[in-house]
A and B are shown apart, each in its own frame.
Chain A
Amino acid sequence: MADNATILATLQSRFTSGIERSDIYRDDASVTIAPEQLLDVARFARQEASLSFDLLLDVTAVDYLGQQARFEVVHHLYSTKHHHRLRLKTRVLEKEPIVDSVVPVWVGANWLERETFDMYGVRFRGHPDLRRIYMYEEFQGHPLRKDYPKERRQPLIGPGSPQGNYQPAIPEIPGLTHVEGLLGAELMRVQLGPSHPATHGTVRILLDLDGETIVNADVQVGYLHRGFEKECESGFYYQAIPYTDRLNYSSAILCNVGYCMAVEKLFGAEVPPRCQFIRVIGGEIARIADHLLCVGATALELNAFTPFLYALQARELIWDLVNAMCGARVTSNFVRIGGVSADLPAGFADQCRAAFKRLLELVEDTEGLLLENPIFRARMEGVGVMSAERLIEYGVTGPLLRAAGVDLDLRRAQPYLVYDQLDFDVPLGTQGDNMDRFLVRLAEMRQSVRIVEQCLKMIPDGPIDIDDPALRFPGKGRVYGRMEELINQFKLVTEGQKPPPGEVYVGTESANGEIGYFLVSDGTGKPYKCRARTPSFSNTQPLAELVRGRLLADMVPTFDMINMIGGECDR
């Protein structure tokens, strides 16, 4: 693992003129490069052995309204070999917001650049298919630009077409021009979704079928887009926490933890040990819930109803634990900036142990009904295979990548919170098919149970919050009784926490892969930019390639094992 200074020095020695600025802020290395050099720098960062940034995590932009070089396109890179990170920044002019596409270097940039184009209007030269991704084609303007008012509404129809009569055009699938089917007939266009019983989550998949074989597929996301980033930018830092619940609604606490860690990193603060343990406990419990839903729903969609009920019964036990911790089952809103909302309730350890005992029995029953079942195995084994290198190129992380045998778990690669003190295994698959993905999730649940049990033994006494009036609301006893704390409470609520200007990225291991938050602070109480890099978005991207050439029926288990969560994918 090369440290940040070495990474920057390597880049600077190679590109003497192209690098405009390089700095390290809060352990994040970032370089600002000239737009014409972007593709060269990207290629170099990917190929140079000491850097080998093979995983493109995120592409986004920041809108600096009023400056001549208005848009800053930001790329986040990660190396699965050395486990280090780099941020590439490119400034483009307002008049001509064009930058080179990095799709030739990382295939996974495709959707990410489409999203940046959709939201900011930055165009990417050389992009194979630059369409809007979240908004519909007829949408006017680019919603994440700072001069697009949050309140502006647009009708959901195209301009100039009479209301009610409007038929949206069925988009052409890129790369497909009048292929004659093997049977000599025309291909059949099938729309799977947006609301289909076998796609839990609203996603539309356009399929071109030759008989029952999928010739080409176009995955269209965005039906659950609700402007997460715009909402975050218009509220205070603490007001965004309930919105992070709605990203991955089946493991909300993991999303909370990532966001709060990012804000704390902006402040350069560290939470006390008890709080870190509570966050790990909450997060791992949420991870179990997420995997249970994935496992159960897969069984359901492959027509095995009983294992689904067992999995949901086990998830019910998990929700009871979450409910006792923070008062809600799904939308937990548990973690706070600089702490957690409440200490663990009395008797929580015993409640946990009792729940886990029953949970493991139920997981075993779910497994027992499925793993020996010839029908289930025929639909899972050898289906949806993709090589590890290709998956990395697509930016896939999490259980999907680990099932292909890549040892990438941020809890192990870059331990955060107290994961370095805990003893757990990282399950890896061998063949990278759907069966491996299923088994990795089952094994991870058992590891999460192990982690929570260890934490409950090791958890120290002590405060659950940072004692810092700039970050955390003071305790209610002090607010009611003392003047300074009362004033502090008023200041924090009405002005928000004010981190120093700067930008940070924090990636944590959520249930489906790396969830990362990229925050830009301008010193006020509202984030200037709050970007969530969500795993479902990157994981859904290879779906078209995973199912191409397979039967239509293979679509369902493959889609299930990707475990696309609509809220997280569409934000």
Chain B
Amino acid sequence: MATQTVAVRRPLAMRAGFIRSAFAILKGLWITNRHFWRNLWGFIIRKPTVFTVQFPEERLVQPNAFRGMPVLVQMDNGKERCVACGLCEWACPTDCITIYPAETADEIERYPRVFDIDMSRCMFCGLCEEACPEEAIVMSQNVEICAYSRRGTLWHKDDLLVPVDKLLDTRLFHVRRGYDR
């Protein structure tokens, strides 16, 4: 296989004249009208062809690979799966994760006493998820992190916990595709 160079074809030299300008206008009208009728028809048969989404009412269906904010996976017994090993803290390029570990008498002995993510610094890169050895922190579909104060963008452990079944058909599905690589 080989590549070759080709010269681009420039449009014909402009001939000053009414006819040519009129032709260009007609061509432009033809193109914009085609789009207009196409969109109108899509509106009538309720299969919209416009790409505008009326955001709060309508929402896009994101692919399961979508990386929203990171959340903590909640096991069936209501506890977090995290063992506070701190790998996500290490991997985070913006240092937005804060963990204080603690110990209990449960079967899984370590747990995070504090698990804070500063969402105003998080850039949704997903490196925490990639570093996690327990599948305890995954990216969710949620991207709405607005708050009335800076303090409000600091998410604590209780805000971050999401039951595992809610994540199974979204990001966890995507992550588990690469399980055996």
Contact = CB atoms under 8 A, between A and B. Distances in A.
A475 B179 contact: yes
A421 B3 CA distance: 9
Interface in B116-174: 123-127, 130-131, 133-135, 139, 171, 174
A442 B6 CA distance: 13
Interface string A283-327: 000000000000000000000001000100100100000011111
B90 A476 contact: no
A265 B1 CA distance: 25
A373 interface: yes
Contact of A333 (B2, B62, B126): B126
A162 interface: no
A310 B31 CA distance: 11
Interface stretch (A8-16, A57-65, A221-229, A488-496): A488-496
Contact of A368 (B27, B51, B63): B27
Interface string B30-73: 01101100000000000000010000000000110111000000
B180 interface: yes
Interface in A341-377: 341-343, 345, 365, 368-369, 371-374, 377
Interface residues of B, number: 52
A475 B133 contact: no
Nearest to A430: B7
Contacts of B9: 439
A405 B125 CA distance: 40
A442 B8 CA distance: 9
B133 A490 contact: yes
B6 A425 contact: yes
A345 B27 contact: no
B78 interface: no
Nearest to A342: B178
B3 to A, nearest CB: 4
Contact of B130 (A371, A473, A477, A480): A473
Nearest to B16: A374
Nearest to B126: A333
A369 B65 contact: no
Nearest to B26: A372
A428 B5 contact: yes
A86 B34 CA distance: 54
Interface string A426-441: 1111110001100110
Contact of B66 (A231, A242, A327, A381): A327
A440 B125 contact: no
Contacts of B35: 310, 365
A411 interface: yes
Contacts of B135: 476, 480
Contacts of A475: 178-181
Interface in B1-30: 1-11, 14, 21, 23-24, 27-28
A451 B11 CA distance: 25
A463 B139 CA distance: 24
Nearest to A412: B3
B101 to A, nearest CB: 15
A177 B1 CA distance: 57
Contact of B11 (A235, A371, A378): A371
Main DSSP-derived SS at the A contact region: helix
B175 interface: yes
B10 A436 contact: yes
A343 B177 contact: yes
B93 A374 contact: no
Contacts, number: 162
A372 B5 contact: no
Looking at A240, A374, A440, A486, the one whose CB has the most chain B CB atoms below 10 A away is A374
Nearest to A235: B93
Looking at B5, B9, B176, B179, the one whose CB has the most chain A CB atoms below 10 A away is B5
Contacts of A465: 181
B65 A326 contact: yes
Contacts of A179: none
B174 A439 contact: no
A374 B127 CA distance: 51
Contact of B87 (A419, A435, A490): A490
Looking at A243, A333, A435, A475, the one whose CB has the most chain B CB atoms below 10 A away is A333
Contacts of B96: none
B8 A440 contact: yes
A359 to B, nearest CB: 12
Given A427-B6, A476-B135, A313 B177 contact: no
Contacts of B31: 365, 368-369
Looking at B21, B27, B85, B181, the one whose CB has the most chain A CB atoms below 10 A away is B181
Given A342-B177, A428-B6, A325 B93 contact: no
Contacts of A409: 3
Contacts of B51: 313, 316
A20 to B, nearest CB: 38
B99 interface: no
Given A235-B93, A377-B14, A327 B1 contact: no
A429 B178 contact: no
A124 interface: no
A324 to B, nearest CB: 4
A324 B9 CA distance: 35
Interface in A402-426: 407, 409, 411-412, 419-426
A382 to B, nearest CB: 11
5 contacts: A331-B124, A369-B32, A426-B5, A430-B10, A489-B133
List of 6 A-B pairs having minimum Cβ-Cβ separation, nearest first: A327-B67, A327-B65, A242-B125, A372-B24, A477-B179, A439-B8
